Structure 1
């Protein structure tokens, strides 16, 4: 046995030995295993992971001889990642079998012959209850290598042969061969009879016939996601008749459905349905929502995006679903009448999101403020006829508000936000996007009244400046995330205040803020030791001194974007390499003074790097690109011009290299 395999065994036993000490012991038979001092067993000396390994090597399998199947299964359930589970399953055949029995979730992307793949997975993992199939994701077939893989060689070979014969016999197109069909859904139904959650994302070949198989054989189904599937009414009717425990249903972009299918489903399992999402379904109208309002009294969440739903449908839901807690609406034909009903009848509402409404006025928000006292989250996007009056009503009535986003509502200004600051003292997150009428006084009031604010997002707020950021920094000392983009009145003064007062800051983004200079980042580096995410893209006054201060003061930094910094040089990159060993993602694009020398210093210490963007950096050559590729074994994406990638680098790491198209 070679040294590498020996180290792997030591690691596997160490993980299990550590977990055993934390497993609760509720049955008598497991007590001797955890409590080594029990009188029922000899009292061995405390065993390290290495000694356990030596026991195994001598023919005395200490763990396997003492741990029952139930406890090993519990250990697998407590492992923190799939890679760890996979590693531990390689210890022996027994552990491999038990790990397969313990697995409850599988995820499948676009793969050759997915129907055959489902057959194979169903045999290997019989206790799976959650199946996620997303054909937007590209996943390759497994590859055989090494001795451990030989055991499954026959199954994988059968899968490949089946894939080839299926294409040659049926004459399937290349795109169809990567889409699960009704046969695959039948395999899901046959193989996972205890299925509780099924997601079919953009599975274009699935039809009502396959969905009917699932409905008939998976009676415990609780969650069904059909986003982008062209299934018909018959499949949905079958789900309603057979799956009486269904709680979650996502019908976004299901163009083949009509009112008939959703009405029948509401009749069949309306008593248990709690979550419903409908978007871009042209044939689903008020008739469906009336059925939902009549039969789905337990509905808690409704997400509705439709040009065909009008007041009648939303009124029915508001009156019939009094337990509604989360409501998201993007319906251009719905008016104040419907939203007023929500305020009157839905007193349990906690989250409200309104998108692109041009027929709502302050009357609607006044009703929400008056009736929805439990409201905690409010999102207003492109609602042009809402003003400060409506926001003031929400502030007065919804004192528990914790999340507020105002995006492109041009009639909401300083006064409305001041009302929020005075009344909503529990506010934790505030986002103001394209709010040209909101001034410094609004954020000054937020700083005075909202002491628990943790996140602030500002985009294109042209009259917000340093005084506003200073007020937030001095009043909201628990601030963890600050994102500012194209707020040209914000300068170093405000960011220095953040560094001096917000020591828990973990995420700072100040993109294209021309007045922010090195002195601001010096304050951040000295006062924010827990910073993990920094984006200073386009801040032209920032140079070496600012980035060096970050490198020396923020050792936990994992993401850094310094693109379009014309004054940044290799010295700063070398300091980042020395001070930020946990760095995973870096963006260096359009930094004209960086060269291969700086890259070399960076990758010597930053061994965890997973992505690096460095387009339009004239000082970086193919040699620098090769250095990054060869030094960072965890690299997943390198964005670079094609001319800077040598043939050798392309052969070694073509799968992780992305090219910027410059030939157009």
Structure 2
């Protein structure tokens, strides 16, 4: 993106469909530098209204807009009409655009000379009203457009869909269809967002149609005040929420914790709110809370004391890759008597073989200290923190249905991969992974354990050398 700052005479710009969201967020800021811009190709409708608003202010010679596989509803159509009333060329080929939105554009953009809406979904080619409104346009193309896409396989009807995942690399135009399809998924319980795009609209529809909805997760995303408000207003009764590594400010996070009083499990990692304050707010507002995930965090004595004192009945604790000393972990293990699952793997501050810790944790059904050491001498250690493990959470939570259906709306054909999983099989698989098919943890040698032993050996050599 750096080179674009150096193009004050830029006249035409094409943005790819796979442009990352954080790059796309910079485009409206850069528009003010491109006063000679005439034609713009957008890879989707994300940030479209913000971009058009800046074009309206700074680009007086602008004549043409193209959007790849756009999803144009009334808001997008209104933005085009209001912000680009004098546009002369408009390319919306392969778009999803309903007749009402197309009519709005035809009525509002009086100076259009070229308008391409071929192979669109939402209106029929040759529609009498549309044809009449477009008769003044020198070149109007609507060939191949139809009211419905009879070959559309982006999403299944799936009336019994329970779990839906929208990955981070999914096309925004596909995500745009989700709000309208939500009415088909009355059994939906869990949703994993890969981006906050259309999150507010999706949650609003979920609040209407999905009465058994229990929770969702989103990682590495920007959670602003609007998104936080939509969570509290649309799905205040959710039990599971994952915001791992998301950018969320203190005000928005506290709004969620205060508004979602039925939270049972919360997974979060943010530098803007201390772990201590998160624990305190949960203890005040969430009376049924039993599971906390704050991986990669620093857990000091005050944090450990807060967990032991304010969350004494907690059952699940995920502190993987955390910096936590033995004294703090001991405090938690002594204070939280009902713990059933504790993940403190790959932590710094205590040794995975510490006898005192293993003795205190002996009553815990699943205790994972593997890879943890008193000091980490390997500066290049790569930590595993790839997001909220929805499958693992579902299998541990003992949810209502014995069959889980996950839908991944992506792939080269943007199709659906349907995968059925039985909780019993998943539980057996997890137990085998943890216990090594009946063997004790100490007798099972894994690659991670071997790597840990190698690092510990290197650390001992360095210590001896310094001595």
Category of TM-score, reference length = shorter chain: 0.3 to 0.5
Instruction: Give the number of the structure whose alpha-carbon radius of gyration is greater.
Output: 1
Give the structure-1-normalised TM-score.
0.31
Give the structure-2-normalised TM-score.
0.43
Q: Which has the higher contact order (CA 8 A, sep 6+)?
A: 2
